[in-house]
Amino acid sequence: RERERENFSEAGNAGNAGNADDDGWEAEDEMESEQDDSELTFSKHTGSVFCVSLDPVSNSLAVTGGEDDRAFVWSVSDGDVLFECTGHKDSVTCAAFSCDSKLVVSADMSGLIKVWKVENKEEIWSFEVGDLEWLEWHPCAPVLLAGAADGNVWMWKIPSGECKTFQGPSCQATSGKILPDGKRAIVGYEDGSLRLWDLKQGNAVYVIKGHDGHQGALTSIACNKEGTLALTGSVDGQAKLFNTSTGKVSRDTAEQDSNSVESVGFCNVLPLVAVAYLDGTLAIYDMNSQSLRHRCKHEVGVVHLQWEEASAVVYTCNLAGVVTLWDARSGVMMSEYRGHSAEILDFVLNRDASVAVTAGGDHQAKVFCLQRPDR
């Protein structure tokens, strides 16, 4: 890996030199001829792949959605398509398995949502909302939560379609997260405000806005395993940590000149959180001392981060098409995985972090087997 890293930095320099207009082509070729560390490439999409999710029970099936208005359910071991989620009219930006892996949802930007039964590959439910911002399965029931551009959040029981709506401010509901207890959800809005919704009663328990809220649209929400703390990120460059039962903000973080927070997440084994920025910074904060522990720098913007379930290793994907592993205790980069010839737009880890599946702007999804010396 050391040797590869060396080569990469040379390639990076060559690529930077090639960014001038006259030899821009050279830089592109450079990227395409990079080595491919992936085990398998899924190439059924004919446009950018926007989202990827693994089935939670066996981790053996992936679902990907793309710019080509298509979603596929396929096998991670051999790339074979189990079925295609047909009938979408716009880019598929959300695709995910239910908690028991029996159902899969695919949803496009126009707001068309479809649910499929994996066992018989049949569509069992569909619904249309206004422009869709995000979609999430309930952690322990066949229930979907979705945020729309008009500020409404919808909740449906599947397949009955029994429905509830939660009315926010009249601006986009830009991100959302159901808490682990399954009874409450945090929703972030374009105006920087946050609401904690009681899913059963249908009321907002509290609103965080103004000085306590963000000053721009929410991009990312995460919570700890117990659901007692939440972390939010926004285009305003800030991340906020707050107590989910009181709504009290206990920590604000703002990086110098960081233009937008793209992704946030909690470590399960140490009191650490990670915040990824569009300028390429991955910041690791210690929740106990409320201080910045490490600033890990990428050459390009970070798109998404994910912690390993059972360690202090955090993974990022970035606009250069690289998956990077960082040791959050030391801030040291552990390894990099390459193979995409364009940005990685989403990725997901399996439970024991032995496999990462990526979704790329190069029309490909890839499966990487993650070798770790300490395992």
Residue by residue, DSSP assigns 177-217 as: EE-TTSSEEEEEETTS-EEEEETTT--EEEEE-TTSS-SS-
Burial class of residue 103 (count of CB atoms within 10 Å of its CB; 0-12, 13-18, 19+): buried
Number of domains the chain contains? 1
What pLDDT does residue 21 have? Answer: 42
pLDDT, tens only, 154-184: 999 999 999 999 998 889 999 999 999 999 9
pLDDT, tens only, 251-310: 777 665 558 999 999 999 999 999 999 999 999 999 988 899 999 998 899 999 999 999
Q: Is 64 domain-assigned?
A: yes
Q: What is the mean pLDDT of residues 106-118?
A: 97
Q: Is 203 domain-assigned?
A: yes
- Distance, CA of 371 to CA of 358 (rounded, Å): 16
**Whether pLDDT at 11 is above 60:** no
Q: What is the mean pLDDT of residues 349-374?
A: 92
- Distance, CA of 220 to CA of 302 (rounded, Å): 13
- Distance, CA of 31 to CA of 286 (rounded, Å): 36
Burial class of residue 55 (count of CB atoms within 10 Å of its CB; 0-12, 13-18, 19+): buried
Q: Is 26 domain-assigned?
A: no
Contact 350, 97 (CB under 8 A): no
Q: Could you tell me where the beta strands, DSSP code E, fall in 4-121?
A: 40-42, 49-54, 61-66, 71-75, 81-85, 92-97, 103-108, 112-117
What is the span of the domain harbouring residue 155?
46-369
Q: Is 24 domain-assigned?
A: no
Contact 348, 363 (CB under 8 A): no
Q: Is 22 domain-assigned?
A: no
Q: Which of 16-20, 184-188, 211-215, 361-365 has the lowest mean pLDDT?
A: 16-20
What pLDDT does residue 337 have? Answer: 96
288 in helix, strand or coil? coil
Contact 124, 135 (CB under 8 A): no
User: How high is the mean pLDDT of the chain?
Assistant: 90
Q: Is 330 domain-assigned?
A: yes
What pLDDT does residue 373 have? Answer: 58
Q: What is the mean pLDDT of residues 313-334?
A: 97
- Domain CATH for 59: 2.130.10.10
**How many Cβ atoms sit within 10 Å of the Cβ of residue 247?**
17
Q: Is 294 domain-assigned?
A: yes
Q: Is 36 domain-assigned?
A: no
Contact 238, 214 (CB under 8 A): yes
DSSP string, 315-336: EEEETTS-EEEEETTTTEEEEE
Q: What is the DSSP letter of 169?
A: S
